[in-house]
Amino acid sequence: MSNTRIERDSIGELQVPAEALYGAQTQRAVNNFPISHQRMPTQFIRALILAKAAAAKANVDLKQISEGQGKAIVEAAQGLLEGDFMQHFPVDIFQTGSGTSSNMNANEVLATLASRLLGEPVNPNDHVNCGQSSNDIIPTTIHVSAALALHEQTLPALLHLVEVIERKAVEVHPFIKTGRTHLMDAMPVRMSQVLEGWAQQLKANIGHLQGLLPSLQALAQGGTAVGTGVNAHPEFAARFSQQLSNLTQVHFTPGKNLFALIGSQDTAVAVSGQLKAIAVTLMKIANDLRWMNSGPLAGLGEIELEGLQPGSSIMPGKVNPVIPEATAMVAAQVIGNDSVITVAGQSGNFELNVMLPIIAQNLLSSLELLANSSRLLADKAIASFKVNEPKLKEALSRNPILVTALNPIIGYQKAAEIAKKAYQQGRPVIDVALEHTNLPRSQLEVLLDPEKLTAGGV
C-alpha cells in the first residue's frame, strides 16, 4: 500500500501522507516553508479550533450551513481538543503573513473529521470556513489565544507572585538592612519595604495589563477579507462572539471597527509592550535577589536563597541563584519578543497586517514565559529565602551614611567630615560623631537608630 494519497486544490494535484487529516493546502505549506521546523503555538491552535466551533454554531443559527454539518464540525473540534491535536498541525511559524496556511490547515482537518462523523462530505472552504476569511479569523485567534493565556496562566501567576511577596514582607518586617543607591551604601530600609516596593511594581503592571483586556477581547471576526464583511451574514460577528464566549467562559465582543482590527495589530503591540514592562520589573526583582544573595563571604550575603542544585562542575560546594538567573533570561527574551512584535506591528499594509503568525508566536511565548517564571520566582526563591541578620547588623553598625540623620543639627559639611573619617578608620559612625560633636551618646543613639530612620519603623 502507498503511504501517500493524491489531493487536489485550485492549483492542481499533489501527494499527501495517507494517514494525514489535512489536505492539499496544508501540504503545500509544509512543502513551501521548511524554515524553522517550529509549529504554531499550541495555545494558538487551541483557540483556532475553538473559533471554528463557535463559527459553526453561529452559522447553524443563521442557517448558513445545515444543522448536521454544524454539529459534525463542533464534534470534530471537541474531539481534537480532547486529544493530541498538535500532530495534525504541521505548518511552520514562518509562513504566509496572513496565516492562511494555518487557517486552511484547521479547515481541512475539521472537514475530514466532520465528514467521517456526518457520513457525507463537509467542505473545508464552504462549510468549516463559512462566513470567514483568513484575514479575520487569524487576527481573531491572536486575540482569543492571548486573552485565554492571560486569564488562565499569566494573570493568576502574577497575582500569586504578588501574594507570596506580600506574605514574605510580613515575615521579614523586623529586619533592617543597609539601603543602596548607585550600588553604594545609603540610608537604612526595612526588608519589608524592599519587598513591598516589588509588590507595588507588579500590582501597577497587572492593573495596566487588565486595562487592555477589553480591547483584547474585541474581535475582528465578521470583517472577512478586507473589513467589509463580504460573504458573512450581517449577524455573524455578534453570534460568533456569543458562541465563543459560551465555549470559553471569557466575554468576547465584535470589534467596533473591523478595518482597524484586520489592518493593524495595535492591541497585540500594546499587550506586548505591557508584558515588556513586567519583564523589566522581574529583571529588577531577580537582580535585587542576586545581589542580596551574593557571596556568601565576599559578597553582600544579606539573604540565603534556597540551594536547588550544585552551582559548578569544577568548584565543589558552590551554589548559584539559579531561579533569579532563569527569570532574568526570561525577561531578556520577553523584551526581545516585544521588539519582534513592534516591527511586525508596522506591517499593516492597507487592509491587512502580513506578519500575523510571528506576532502570535512571540506574544504567546511572552505570556507563557512570564507565567511560568513568575511562579518559580515566587515559590523557589522569594518564599524560601532566609535572612542573614548578623550580616545586616554588621553592615548597619559601620554605615557612615547614617550620619545623614545629623544634618539638621550639625550641618551637611560637618556630617560629611564625620562620614569620611568613619570610612577611613573603619569605625562605627556613632563613635566618630561622639568625638567630633558636642552631642551626648544617648542623643546620638536616638538620632542614629536605624529603626527610627526607616520612616519611624512603619
Q: Which sequence positions are flagged as catalytic?
A: 182, 312
Provide the grid cell at 370: 512570564
DSSP character at residue 299: S
List phi, psi (to 5°) of 165: -65, -45
Provide the grid cell at 183: 550600588
What is the dihedral sign for C-alpha 87, 89, 91, 93? Answer: negative
Q: Which of 128, 119, 131, 93 is nearest to 22 (CA)?
A: 128
CA distance 341 to 273: 9
- Number of CB atoms found within 10 A of residue 3's CB: 8
Amino acid at 450: P
Answer yes or no: are the C-beta atoms of 327 and 305 closer than 8 Å.
Answer: no
Interhelix angle for 266-293 vs 322-345, to 10°?
160
Answer yes or no: are the C-beta atoms of 305 and 321 closer than 8 Å.
Answer: yes
3-state secondary structure of 64: coil
Answer yes or no: are the C-beta atoms of 364 and 43 closer than 8 Å.
Answer: yes
Provide the grid cell at 305: 536563597
CA distance 207 to 355: 29
Q: How far is CA 355 from the centre of its chain?
A: 20
How many CA atoms within 13 Å lie on the side-chain side of 330?
A: 30
CA distance 164 to 169: 9
DSSP character at residue 41: P
Answer yes or no: are the C-beta atoms of 250 and 147 closer than 8 Å.
Answer: yes
Q: Is 63 left (phi over 0), alpha (psi -120 to 50) or beta?
A: left
Provide the grid cell at 427: 569605625
b/e code 267-291 from CB counts within 10 Å (16+ = b): bbbbbbebbbbbbebbbebbbbbbb
Amino acid at 101: S
